[in-house]
Amino acid sequence: MEVEASNLLSLLHQHLDWYPRMELRDIYKLIYQGSLGPEHMVATRQEFTRHLVSEFETLIPNSEQRLLEPIRADLSLFRLNLCPLKSRHGTTDRLIPFLLQTSKLVNGTKIDLLDTWAIFIQLCEESRLESFRMPEVRRFDRWLARKDYPTIHHSQAYRREYQPAYRLILAQFIPELGLTDAG
């Protein structure tokens, strides 16, 4: 998975426009998911299904939220936000096989993650992402390296402000499910 700096920059600017309270850890999470996909979220089919159905039942429908958000610069992988799905009377039944298939088909590597993260750092060094200052970026990068670039949660500010509830889905499945932002 090769990422062009200009494409990554466009993707990050798009997310920062949508979510201006994003912090470094939210950018990293976006890059992590875009690089490695959802595999870390799928232990077993039964556990995945139980967790998704349980979470979906508690969500408040929200038609104001964006249904789909690209998380890869090549637009092959998206976050599917569950609250707008629920507002469209969507259910998890048809969704589950496509989400599980996404976890099997997305096969990024740690090298993909590190390469994309390095491009992000380069963009910051070149002052092309003015939201993040280099001392903070370097400090966070050192922390990630010590932890071997782990899976992390969204920042508290991001969770409080945006209440993220989503799953990752390959773009190829979106038409099959009839999912578009226009509906």
**Mean pLDDT rounded to a whole number for the chain:** 92
| Residue 123, C-beta contacts closer than 8 angstroms, at least 6 positions apart | 5, 8, 9, 12, 129
The Cα–Cα gap between 108 and 110 comes to 7
Average pLDDT over residues 23-40: 92
The Cα–Cα gap between 127 and 130 comes to 6
User: Is pLDDT at 41 greater than 70 in this prediction?
Assistant: no
Reported as a pLDDT band with limits 50, 70 and 90, residue 171 is very high
Sheet holding 77-81, edge to edge: 68-70, 77-81, 166-170
The Cα–Cα gap between 74 and 76 comes to 6
pLDDT in tens, 99-145: 999 998 988 899 999 999 999 999 999 999 989 999 999 999 999 99
Average pLDDT over residues 45-74: 94
pLDDT in tens, 60-112: 999 999 999 999 999 999 999 999 999 998 889 999 999 999 998 988 899 99
Task: Say if pTM beats, i.e. exceeds, 0.85.
Answer: yes
| 83 and 61 Cβ atoms separated by less than 8 Å | yes
| 81 and 165 Cβ atoms separated by less than 8 Å | yes
What pLDDT score was predicted for residue 39?
Answer: 63
Residue with the bigger pLDDT between 38 and 144: it is: 144
What pLDDT score was predicted for residue 183?
Answer: 42
User: Which burial class, exposed, middle or buried, applies to 145 when counting CB atoms under 10 A from its CB (0-12, 13-18, 19+)?
Assistant: exposed
